[in-house]
Amino acid sequence: MSEEDFLQALSSVDEQLSSHSSWQQIKDVASVYPWSLGGTQLTPGQQCVLAFWRILSRDDQGQSTAPMPGEGTSAQIQQSLSDFQEDFETSVLINTDLDLDSIRELFAALAPT
């Protein structure tokens, strides 16, 4: 999967989650701590999808199982993102009160130095 296709896949998940007002709150936090992937500046939505997808897709040893480009096929990446979107939407955006302070701390800790 090319970087352009990967970024489009992240954007697609962002668009699907955008119907939730809490998703916008998370993106607002992320916008304060911008990231790049390669030489491309990520949108706050892409950044949020990437961060939470990698964090929430963990094996028993704590390693992310979310396949990045070069680690998995396009189909594997798309399926993993689809699974993440469904799980994140139901377990975080719908059924949880967001702790924006913790999310802010997360993005501050992950911010490039």
What is the spatial distance between Cα 111 and Cα 3, in angstroms, rounded to a whole number? 20
Phi, psi of 112 (to 5 degrees): -65, 145
User: What average pLDDT is seen over the chain?
Assistant: 91
The reported pTM is 0.90
Please give the pLDDT value at position 97.
79
8 Å CB contact between 7 and 36: no
DSSP 111: S
pLDDT in tens, 61-80: 989 999 988 888 999 999 99
Residue 47 tokens, joined: 């950044």
Q: What is the pLDDT of residue 82?
A: 94
Across the range 13-35, mean pLDDT stands at 94
